[in-house]
Structure 1
Amino acid sequence: MDLTMIALAIIAMVAVITVLLSGVKIVQPYEQAIYMRLGKFVRVLNQGLNFVCPLINQVVKLDLRTEVLDVPKQEVITKDNSPVAVDAVIYIKVTDPRNAFFEVTNYRLATVNLAQTTLRSIIGEMELDQILSSRERINVSLRDILDENTDKWGVKIEAVEIREVDPAKKVKDSMEDQTSAERKRRAAILEADGQKRAAILEAEGKKKSMILEAEGKRQSMILEAEGQRLATILEGQGEAQKLRIMSVGAAAMDSKAMSVLSMQTLQEVGKGESTKFFFPMELTRLVEGISDYVGTASRIPDRPVSDMSDLERAVGTADDILGPIPTPEEIHEETAKVDKQVREDMEDVDEVLSKKPKQ
């Protein structure tokens, strides 16, 4: 009898403890709980230790952390009738546990299905090239639409990312052919542009070469002409000085000396190898001078010797006839001026050639 009473007491104590424990609910820091009693919503239980009515309570805990939902791959027809397989990833977070529990049966499944239909709608309104190049715009549009529709469920869409866009095999092959053709087109354009630039540079080089060659010829002709001019001046002045010296020397000679020089000239002419000789028209006077010198005409008196005053009265002074004779220093200075002018002209040509022509 005593054992039976002890057993019943133990059972009663266990039952009481069980009942009391059913009224104790512990909510984790990342959770909130929905507390319902007899089918009626009472309140939302926050993190920590919570006491509810034992036995007749129902508590559903909801995770408030960000969840990652995978949108399965689906085939979508684009605006330009290109089949493409698209999948995505959604990042969601429960902001209102009460709505997430009471407004939708399964907010995860509902969000994924809504993302599938919305993604199909957005992709269907775009062409394939836009889809491949505008993923960010698709992500933003999909996130805004989903966030607006899931707000009444107490769920916030934090981000949406298109994970893969996979066109059909035939479309891929066409895109590869298009890419290859585009690369070939760019290569042909670059090659043609390179040939064009090479031809321009070659033409510019030939132009500069011809200009430099022409300028060199011009400067050479200028220098040659200047040299010939100076040579002619110096040669003429030297010849004039020679004649002046000869005239001064001949002024003191009498007719006999002239006759001796004439005989020496005839002797030099006779030594030549030529069989023909040309004599001046005054040959008779030359013969008369020679005959006077040898004594056949001794009655003819000697001609008076001319002096410098007689020559100057007849033809003028030597300086008036010959003009100023340049000294070596003056000739060197004139040549230096010509060289300086040539260098300045060459610098002007280089400055003109250094300027690139407008393309």
Structure 2
Amino acid sequence: MAQIGFFLLVVLLFITLVSLARSARIVSQYEKGLVLRLGRYRNTVDSGLTFLVPVIEDMIKVDMRERVINVEPQKVITKDNVVVTVDAVIYYRISDPVKATFEVQNFAYAATTLAQTNLRNLVGDKSLDDTLVARDMINANLRNVLDEATNTWGVKVTRVEVQKIDPPADITEAMSRQMKAERDKRAAILEAEGVKQSQILQAEGVKQSEILRAEGDAQARILRAQAEAKAIEMVSNAAENFFKDRAEASKRLDVLNTVLATQTKYIVPSGADLVNVLGLDDRGVVPLKR
């Protein structure tokens, strides 16, 4: 009996350890744990260690990180009847783990189907040219539609990006030729503008050079005229002074002749200079040397 009792104790202990091990749940930092009791939602637990009641309770872990859904390429007819191939990428995260678990069965499939339907509508309302240039507007409109539709599922669509809008090969080739023609046209215009600007700058340079040369010649002529006028003035002043001095000297000689004619006697010291005595030294009169 003792052995049977010990065996039962070991079995019971083993069952208890297994039950404890199965009842322990570890929830990661990026997860939320939904606790179900007898199949009915009971509560939500955060990251960490949680113990469940064996057999009665169970847990569903929900990843709260942002996820990506690739929308497969599909052919869409634009407003001007051009068939284009369009695909997109949807970025979303779960905002309400309870709704995301119990309100929708397969969110990825539902979101992809919804995105394809609305993408056809958005592209179909625009021409090819508008579709190619309005990619950002298509992204914003599609995100708003998906976010509103998935809000009841506890999902938040953060952004939507249309990856490619591919027209048929013949239209792509025609667009390439048109773009090349536009580039060649812009290059020709830029080259012509460059030549024009170069010619204008060259003409301006010649003009400035001629102006500077003319100003230099005029300044040189002015300086020469001023120099000639100065020379003429100096000659005139010299001539005026010369004749003035001659006139004064002649006048003094006349006075001397008049005085000498009166028989007046002058006593001159021996060895004195007669020119100095008569006041003719500064009038250009030079005594005659014997």
| Residue in 2 that maps onto 1:167 | 167
Paired AA for residue 43 in structure 1: R
TM-score normalised per structure 2: 0.62
| Residue in 1 that maps onto 2:260 | none
| Residue in 1 that maps onto 2:155 | 155
| Residue in 2 that maps onto 1:51 | 53
| Residue in 1 that maps onto 2:267 | none
Alignment gaps of 5+ in structure 2: 257-290
| Residue in 1 that maps onto 2:94 | 94
| Residue in 2 that maps onto 1:222 | 222
Tell me, in whole angstroms, the C-alpha distance in 1 between the residues paired with 2:137 and 2:96: 28
What's the secondary structure of 1:51's corresponding residue?
Answer: coil
How far is the alpha carbon of 1:150 from its aligned partner?
A: 1.0
Tell me, in whole angstroms, the C-alpha distance in 2 between the residues paired with 1:223 and 1:243: 30
| Residue in 2 that maps onto 1:106 | 106
Paired AA for residue 88 in structure 1: A
Change in CA separation of 1:158 and 1:236 when aligned onto 2, cut-off 3 Å: closer
Report which of the two structures shows the higher radius of gyration computed on alpha carbons.
1
Paired AA for residue 42 in structure 2: R
Tell me, in whole angstroms, the C-alpha distance in 1 between the residues paired with 2:41 and 2:211: 102
Paired AA for residue 51 in structure 1: V
How far is the alpha carbon of 1:109 from its aligned partner?
A: 0.7
Tell me, in whole angstroms, the C-alpha distance in 1 between the residues paired with 2:177 and 2:237: 88
Change in CA separation of 1:241 and 1:100 when aligned onto 2, cut-off 3 Å: closer
Tell me, in whole angstroms, the C-alpha distance in 1 between the residues paired with 2:179 and 2:196: 25
The Cα RMSD (Å) is: 4.2
Change in CA separation of 1:169 and 1:248 when aligned onto 2, cut-off 3 Å: same
Tell me, in whole angstroms, the C-alpha distance in 2 between the residues paired with 1:28 and 1:173: 55
Question: Contact between 1:86 and 1:164, CA under 8 Å: does it hold in 2?
Answer: yes
How far is the alpha carbon of 1:106 from its aligned partner?
A: 1.8
| Residue in 1 that maps onto 2:205 | 205
Paired AA for residue 87 in structure 2: D
How far is the alpha carbon of 1:73 from its aligned partner?
A: 1.2
How far is the alpha carbon of 1:309 from its aligned partner?
A: 5.4
What's the secondary structure of 2:52's corresponding residue?
Answer: strand
What's the secondary structure of 2:206's corresponding residue?
Answer: helix
| Residue in 2 that maps onto 1:294 | none
Tell me, in whole angstroms, the C-alpha distance in 1 between the residues paired with 2:158 and 2:84: 26
Tell me, in whole angstroms, the C-alpha distance in 2 between the residues paired with 1:74 and 1:175: 21
How far is the alpha carbon of 1:71 from its aligned partner?
A: 0.8
How far is the alpha carbon of 1:61 from its aligned partner?
A: 5.4
**Does residue 67 of structure 2 align to residue 67 of structure 1?**
yes
Of the two structures, which has the highest relative contact order with CA contacts closer than 8 Å and spacing of 6 or more?
A: 2
TM-score normalised per structure 1: 0.52
Change in CA separation of 1:200 and 1:308 when aligned onto 2, cut-off 3 Å: farther
Question: Contact between 2:32 and 2:97, CA under 8 Å: does it hold in 1?
Answer: no
How far is the alpha carbon of 1:105 from its aligned partner?
A: 3.3
Q: Residue deviations 1:130-185, cap 9 Å, x none?
A: 54444443333222211110111222223322333333323332332233223223
Question: Contact between 2:52 and 2:58, CA under 8 Å: does it hold in 1?
Answer: no
What's the secondary structure of 1:76's corresponding residue?
Answer: strand
| Residue in 2 that maps onto 1:185 | 185
How many aligned positions are there?
240
Map 1:1-359 to 2 at 5 A: 24=23, 26=25, 28-29=27-28, 30-33=31-34, 35=36, 37=38, 41-44=40-43, 46=45, 48-51=50-53, 62-234=62-234, 307-308=253-254
